[in-house]
Every structure is written in C-alpha cells, then in structure tokens.
Structure 1
Amino acid sequence: MVLATSLGVKFKNGVVLAADRRVSYGGFILSKAAKKVMKINERVGLSMSGLPADFQELSEILSYNIALYEMDIERKATPTNIARLLSIIMYQRRFYGPFYAEILVGGLEQNNMPKIIVLDPAGGMLEEDYAATGTGAQMATGILERYFKKDLEKDEAVEIAERAMRAAIERDALSGDGIDILIISDSGTEEKFVPARIEWKDVGRRS
C-alpha cells in the first residue's frame, strides 16, 4: 500500500506540488512532521506518497546523480531529465527491494513549459496536467477533476491543490498533520506549510 497523499497541478507559468506530513504504521501514527515535498533545483521539485525511508534513499541517490549531471552539461536539470533518472533507478529495483513510493516530478522545461510526470514503484512514467497518488488519491482526484482547467493562474492552482489535499486528509486516516506546498514558476520557487487540522468544536458546524 502506498501511504499518505501527494499531488501536483499545472498552472499557466508553473506547477504546484503538495503532500501531507503524516507517517503511519498499521493503526499507529509514527510522525507528524515528515516532509514529502523536495526542491531539486530552482526549476524542479518532487512530491511523494509511500514509505518515507524509501523517499529519503531515492532523494540521496537522485541528488548525487543530478549534481554530477548538472556539472557535466553545465545547466540545470529539467523535469524530464530527473524523471528519466528516477525511472531507471526504480526500474532496476523492481524485483528485489523495490522502492515503495509513487513520485510526482514537476517543474519547468528549458522552454519554460510546465510539466508533471508521475512515476510508479516500478519506474513507469506518465505525463499529466494534474495527478494525485497514495491512499487519499481518490478523494484528491475528485477535487482536481472538478476544478482544474487549462491555463490556471498561480493562486487558483494553489487553492485547488490545498482544497484537494484537505479533502484527502479529512477522509483518509493515513494522511494528515498539515500540507507542504512547493510552487515552481518562471519567477522562482516558493515553499509554504498549511495546517490542516479540524477542531472538534467546528465539526458540527461543517455543512
């Protein structure tokens, strides 16, 4: 089972990546502060659902190889470059010690076109305008499908991503404890944390 929830949404000049912070094992919450969104460079980031240990290992392998790649080509890696490298790494481990992780790679290509690529645990790649992964993906996808449109503005995309993450957190016990958001656009990157806790006193007031 791929635990927790992550998602990505394209907008006119960039992408929004988001993920929750909860780490669960069975019925236990092991951590409420696991960061599952990562900036690779000023033009590319990742979000993931799955086992945080696998994401950490993948991040370390990826960071090392991307540093070498960027030194060799003397320019920043693109979402396509990073997704292909991750695909090779994950595919090589598909039969022995696979990585239990689904990863969204998002960012800007060399021509400033936004791109989101979804990778499954075996390294399969699929390009999408928006996507959600993990145990809360069904709820998040419902919101994304309803509100996504071509050429969203940045603020619209952030609002949709936050709304989709909240829907997943409210209905999936394995997701929760806040939302990390990474925004990548042609004007730079921005990271923020959004609390996503429902106060019991407010439950009866919800429509």
Structure 2
Amino acid sequence: MESLLAVQGQDFVLTASSSSAVRGITVLKPDDDKSQILNSHNLMLYCGEAGDTTNFAEYIAANISLYTLRHNLNLSPEATASFTRKQLATSLRSRKPYQVNILLAGYETNLGKPELFWLDYLATCVRVPYACQGYSSFYCLSIFDRYYKPDLTIDEAVRIMKLCFDELKKRMPIDFKGFICKVVDKDGIREINI
C-alpha cells in the first residue's frame, strides 16, 4: 500500500512518498522515509518489496558516491537514471531480480532545469513531467492530467499534491499516516510540509 508522487515545475521537482511501512494489515512503522538522497541534486523515491527497496536504494547511493569520489563529478539526473536503469536491467536477468519501482527527481545544474524519471522493476525508464508509483497511480494520474502545466510554480504544485492527498484519503481504505514531501531545485534537496 505504498504511494509515490512527483510533479515537475518550471524550476523544481516536488515529490511525496507515503510515510507508513505496511505489511498486510499491520502498520510496521508510521514514519518510514521511502527516499534516498543520491547526491546534492538527485533524489530517488522507491517502493516495492521491503528488503529489495532498501538494499537497492543503498546500493545505488553508494555507487553514485563512489563515482563522485573517483571522478570529482556529480552525476546529472539523466546519467543517474541511466545507471539505475542499467542496474535494474542487470538484476532482471539474474536469479533474484530486485522488485523495486522508482521515481528519480533531480536538477540539472549545468542546464538549469529540473528532471523527473519513472522507472519500474522491469527496467523501464521514461522522462516524465509528473508520475505516480503504487496504488496512488489509480487515482492521482487523472488529477495530474487535468491540472499539470509546464510552468507550474511551487504553490500550484503544492495545491495539486493536496488534491491528490485528498483523493487518496477519500478513495483508499487505509490511512497512509501522511506523506513526506521534498523539493529538488537549484538549491538542492529540502523537505517541506504540506
């Protein structure tokens, strides 16, 4: 019952992840952060099998850090998405593939533009203006379709996220215990309250 949401604005990406870790009908942890900071301008949100998600997120973060140390260069969001997709594709061809779905939000500092990528456990990677993973996609994609525009401001994006949260509260039979929302922009990654 995990949900990931993200929307790209004119100079930022706003992300949200459900904050509860649930197994069956039991809430294991009400404040689980399903995001991993990869570098100063790349953020990965993940959902899927509990062990796979944490293991894969830490593996990607460690390899991105290693690349930065070796080459003294931060990977762009597109390069990070490409590397992550390659790791998922390699895993898919193994005996024990990772069961993890990802939203990768980043800010390309050289070009001065935000980027958002949608990746799934089959190693599909697509650049998108807005995205959902998990059960939220059943209800929130139509809201994004209706209200999204390329030059969104942060206030407009927050309003769209609130509409999504309200719809999920209305339609879903479980309580997500809230969402952890983060913004990726030219200043880096920061958490915000919605």
TM-score calculated relative to the size of structure 2: 0.89
Give the alignment of 1:57-136 within 5 angstroms: 57-95=55-93, 96-109=95-108, 110-136=110-136
- One of 27, 32, 38 as aligned partner of 2:36: 38
Do the aligned partners of residues 175 and 68 (structure 1) sit closer, same or farther apart at CA in structure 2, a change above 3 Å counting?
farther
CA–CA distance in 1 between the matches of 2:176 and 2:79?
31
CA–CA distance in 1 between the matches of 2:76 and 2:175?
29
Instruction: Indicate the SS of the match to 1:144.
Output: helix
CA–CA distance in 2 between the matches of 1:186 and 1:6?
22
Amino acid at match of 2:35: V
Q: Is the 8 A contact 1:46 1:103 kept in 2?
A: yes
Q: Is the 8 A contact 2:36 2:58 kept in 1?
A: no
| CA apart distance, 1:65 | 0.6
CA–CA distance in 2 between the matches of 1:77 and 1:187?
16
| CA apart distance, 1:162 | 3.4
Q: What do you get for the CA RMSD once the two structures are aligned? A: 1.8
Q: Is the 8 A contact 1:107 1:114 kept in 2?
A: yes
> Which stretches of structure 1, 4 residues or longer, exceed 3 Å deviation after superposition?
none
CA–CA distance in 2 between the matches of 1:159 and 1:30?
30
Q: Is the 8 A contact 2:47 2:133 kept in 1?
A: yes
| CA apart distance, 1:193 | 4.6
| CA apart distance, 1:115 | 0.8
Instruction: Indicate the SS of the match to 2:33.
Output: coil
CA–CA distance in 1 between the matches of 2:29 and 2:103?
22
Instruction: Indicate the SS of the match to 2:151.
Output: coil
Do the aligned partners of residues 43 and 27 (structure 1) sit closer, same or farther apart at CA in structure 2, a change above 3 Å counting?
same
**Deviation by residue 1:29-84 (Cα, 9 ceiling, x = unmatched):** 22222111222222111112223322210121112110111123322221112111
**Unaligned residue ranges in structure 2 (runs of 5+):** none
Q: Does residue 185 in structure 1 map to residue 185 in structure 2? A: yes
Do the aligned partners of residues 20 and 59 (structure 1) sit closer, same or farther apart at CA in structure 2, a change above 3 Å counting?
same
**Deviation by residue 1:140-188 (Cα, 9 ceiling, x = unmatched):** 1122112111111122112212331342244224560111111011133
CA–CA distance in 2 between the matches of 1:170 and 1:30?
23
**Unaligned residue ranges in structure 1 (runs of 5+):** 195-207
Percent identity at matched positions?
Answer: 22
Amino acid at match of 1:105: L
Q: Is the 8 A contact 1:20 1:175 kept in 2?
A: no
TM-score calculated relative to the size of structure 1: 0.84
Amino acid at match of 1:144: F
Tell me how many residue pairs correspond in the alignment: 192
